[in-house]
Chain A
Amino acid sequence: MTNPLWIAAAGAAGSFHCLGMCSAFALALAPSRGARWKTVGRHLAYNSGRVTSYCFLGLAAGTIGQAAAAGGPIGLLQRALAIVSGILMTVMALQFFGYRVPLSLSSAPGLGSLLRGVRGLLRAPGIPPPLAFGVFNGFLPCPLVYAFVAQALATGSAARGLLTMIAFGLGTFPAMLLVGLVGWGVTPGWRVWGLRLAGTVILIFGLITIARGAIAISSADGHAGHLMAMP
Chain B
Amino acid sequence: MALSEELCAHCLVPAGASAYHGTVAGCDHVFCCFGCFLAFRVHGEAGEEADATLFFLRLGVGAFLGMNVMILSLLLYSHDFSRDQDHIRRGIEILVGVLATPVMLVLGAPLIRDAWRAGRRGQITAETMIAVSSVAAYGYSVAALFGLLDHIYFDTATMLLLLFTVGRYLDATARARAARNLAPLLEAEIASVRTLTSDGEVTKRARDVAVGELVRVLAGERIPVDGEIVVGNSTVDQSLVTGEPEPIPKGPGDVVFAGTANGDGILLARTSASGAATHWAAIGRAVREALERRSRLQTLHDRIATYFLPLVVLVAAGAAVYWGRHGSVWTATSAALATLVVACPCALGPAAYLASFLGIGIAARRGIVIRSTRALQDLATSRWMVFDKTGCLTRGTPTLVAVAAEQAPEAAILGHAAGLALASDHPFSRALVEAARERGAVAVPATEVRTVRGQGLLGQRDGMAVALGSARFFSELGWRPPSQLGARAGVLESSANSLVFYGQEGRIEGLFAFADTLKPEAAEVLQSLRSRGLRTMVLSGDRTAAVRLAAESLAFERWRAEISPEEKLAVVRQLSASEGEVAMVGDGLNDAPVLAGAGVGIALGSGTELARTSADIVTADTSLLVLPWLVDLGRSVRRKTAISLLWAFGYNIGGVALAASGYLTPVLAAALMAASSILVIGNALGLEGHKEFGALPSGSGAKPGVAQTGLSMPTDGTAWQLGSASAATSPKSATVRSRLRDARPPEFRAR
A residues within 8 A CB of B68? 52
C-alpha gap A129/B70 in the complex (Å): 21
Q: State whether the Cβ of A154 lies closer than 8 Å to any Cβ in chain B.
A: no
Known A109-B681, A113-B43, A159-B78; contact A120-B49, beta-carbon cutoff 8 A: yes
> In whole Å, how far is A104's beta carbon from the nearest beta carbon of chain B?
11
Known A55-B71, A56-B67, A117-B42; contact A132-B49, beta-carbon cutoff 8 A: no
Residues 44-83 of chain B: 1 if any A CB is under 8 Å from the residue's CB, otherwise 0?
0000011011011111110110011011001000100000
Tell me if A59 and B74 are in contact (CB < 8 A): yes
B residues within 8 A CB of A109? 170, 173-174, 177, 681, 685
Q: State whether the Cβ of A136 lies closer than 8 Å to any Cβ in chain B.
A: yes
A residues within 8 A CB of B53? 117, 120-121, 124, 129
B residues within 8 A CB of A25? none
A residues 103-133 in Cβ contact with B at 8 Å = 107, 109-110, 113-114, 116-118, 120-121, 124, 128-129, 131-133
A residues within 8 A CB of B74? 59, 158-159, 162
Q: State whether the Cβ of B169 lies closer than 8 Å to any Cβ in chain A.
A: yes
Tell me if A52 and B61 are in contact (CB < 8 A): no
> In whole Å, how far is A87's beta carbon from the nearest beta carbon of chain B?
24
Tell me if B52 and A132 are in contact (CB < 8 A): no
B residues within 8 A CB of A162? 71, 74
Known A56-B71, A117-B52; contact A131-B61, beta-carbon cutoff 8 A: yes
B residues 659-703 in Cβ contact with A at 8 Å = 681, 685, 689
Residues 13-51 of chain B: 1 if any A CB is under 8 Å from the residue's CB, otherwise 0?
000000000000000000000000001001100000110
Tell me if B71 and A113 are in contact (CB < 8 A): no
> In whole Å, how far is A150's beta carbon from the nearest beta carbon of chain B?
20
Q: State whether the Cβ of A49 lies closer than 8 Å to any Cβ in chain B.
A: yes
> In whole Å, how far is B328's beta carbon from the nearest beta carbon of chain A?
22
Tell me if B71 and A117 are in contact (CB < 8 A): no
Residues 97-136 of chain B: 1 if any A CB is under 8 Å from the residue's CB, otherwise 0?
0000000000000000000000000000000000000000
A residues within 8 A CB of B61? 128, 131-132, 135
Closest to A161 in B: B74
B residues within 8 A CB of A129? 53, 57, 60
B interface bracket (residues with beta carbon within 8 Å of A): 20 to 34
5 A-B pairs whose Cβ atoms sit less than 8 Å apart in the complex: A52-B67, A52-B68, A109-B174, A110-B173, A135-B61
C-alpha gap A133/B43 in the complex (Å): 18
Tell me if A133 and B60 are in contact (CB < 8 A): yes
Tell me if A124 and B57 are in contact (CB < 8 A): yes
> In whole Å, how far is B103's beta carbon from the nearest beta carbon of chain A?
13
Residue from B52, B60, B68 with most neighbouring chain A CB atoms (10 Å): B60
Question: Which of B49, B56, B64, B685 has a CB less than 8 Å from the CB of A52?
Answer: B64
A residues within 8 A CB of B57? 121, 124, 128-129, 132
C-alpha gap A53/B71 in the complex (Å): 11
Main secondary structure of the interface of B (DSSP, over half): helix
C-alpha gap A117/B58 in the complex (Å): 11
B residues within 8 A CB of A110? 39, 169-170, 173-174
Tell me if A131 and B177 are in contact (CB < 8 A): no
A residues within 8 A CB of B71? 52, 55-56, 59, 162
Tell me if B52 and A113 are in contact (CB < 8 A): yes
C-alpha gap A190/B70 in the complex (Å): 39
Question: Which of B67, B681, B685 has a CB less than 8 Å from the CB of A55?
Answer: B67
Residues 699-712 of chain B: 1 if any A CB is under 8 Å from the residue's CB, otherwise 0?
00000000000000
Sorted nearest first, the 10 A-B pairs with minimum C-beta distance are: A132-B60, A120-B53, A110-B173, A117-B52, A56-B67, A117-B56, A109-B174, A135-B60, A109-B173, A135-B63
A residues 76-115 in Cβ contact with B at 8 Å = 107, 109-110, 113-114
> In whole Å, how far is B202's beta carbon from the nearest beta carbon of chain A?
31
C-alpha gap A211/B50 in the complex (Å): 51
Tell me if A120 and B52 are in contact (CB < 8 A): yes
Please report the total number of A residues contacting B with Cβ < 8 Å.
Answer: 29
B residues within 8 A CB of A159? 74, 78
C-alpha gap A56/B174 in the complex (Å): 26
A residues 127-179 in Cβ contact with B at 8 Å = 128-129, 131-136, 158-159, 162
Main secondary structure of the interface of A (DSSP, over half): helix
Tell me if B60 and A49 are in contact (CB < 8 A): yes
C-alpha gap A111/B536 in the complex (Å): 46
Tell me if B67 and A118 are in contact (CB < 8 A): no
B residues 354-368 in Cβ contact with A at 8 Å = none
Closest to B667 in A: A63
Tell me if A116 and B52 are in contact (CB < 8 A): yes
Question: Which of A117, A124, A128 has a CB less than 8 Å from the CB of B55?
Answer: A117
> In whole Å, how far is B464's beta carbon from the nearest beta carbon of chain A?
68
B residues within 8 A CB of A120? 49-50, 52-53, 56
> In whole Å, how far is A145's beta carbon from the nearest beta carbon of chain B?
15
B residues within 8 A CB of A113? 39, 42-43, 52, 173
A residues within 8 A CB of B174? 109-110
A residues within 8 A CB of B60? 49, 121, 129, 131-136
A residues 16-45 in Cβ contact with B at 8 Å = none
C-alpha gap A20/B639 in the complex (Å): 45
C-alpha gap A56/B52 in the complex (Å): 24
B residues within 8 A CB of A121? 53, 56-57, 60
B residues within 8 A CB of A118? 56
A residues within 8 A CB of B55? 117
B residues within 8 A CB of A48? 64
> In whole Å, how far is A56's beta carbon from the nearest beta carbon of chain B?
4
> In whole Å, how far is A118's beta carbon from the nearest beta carbon of chain B?
6
C-alpha gap A93/B424 in the complex (Å): 74
> In whole Å, how far is A29's beta carbon from the nearest beta carbon of chain B?
14
C-alpha gap A11/B269 in the complex (Å): 63
C-alpha gap A109/B177 in the complex (Å): 7
C-alpha gap A107/B70 in the complex (Å): 30
> In whole Å, how far is A16's beta carbon from the nearest beta carbon of chain B?
26
Closest to A111 in B: B173
9 additional A-B pairs beyond A48-B64, A109-B681, A129-B53, beta carbons within 8 Å, are: A49-B60, A55-B67, A107-B689, A110-B174, A117-B53, A117-B56, A121-B60, A158-B74, A162-B74
Closest to A128 in B: B61
Residue from A109, A129, A132 with most neighbouring chain B CB atoms (10 Å): A109
A residues within 8 A CB of B59? 132
A residues within 8 A CB of B39? 110, 113
Residue from B39, B52, B177, B681 with most neighbouring chain A CB atoms (10 Å): B52
Closest to B75 in A: A159
C-alpha gap A55/B58 in the complex (Å): 20
Tell me if B56 and A132 are in contact (CB < 8 A): yes
C-alpha gap A116/B74 in the complex (Å): 34
Tell me if B78 and A136 are in contact (CB < 8 A): no
Tell me if B78 and A135 are in contact (CB < 8 A): no
C-alpha gap A132/B54 in the complex (Å): 10
Tell me if A158 and B56 are in contact (CB < 8 A): no
C-alpha gap A135/B64 in the complex (Å): 6
B residues within 8 A CB of A132? 56-61, 63-64
Residue from B71, B78, B689 with most neighbouring chain A CB atoms (10 Å): B71
B residues within 8 A CB of A131? 60-61, 64
C-alpha gap A57/B641 in the complex (Å): 33
> In whole Å, how far is B363's beta carbon from the nearest beta carbon of chain A?
21
B residues within 8 A CB of A133? 60
Known A128-B61, A158-B78; contact A136-B67, beta-carbon cutoff 8 A: no
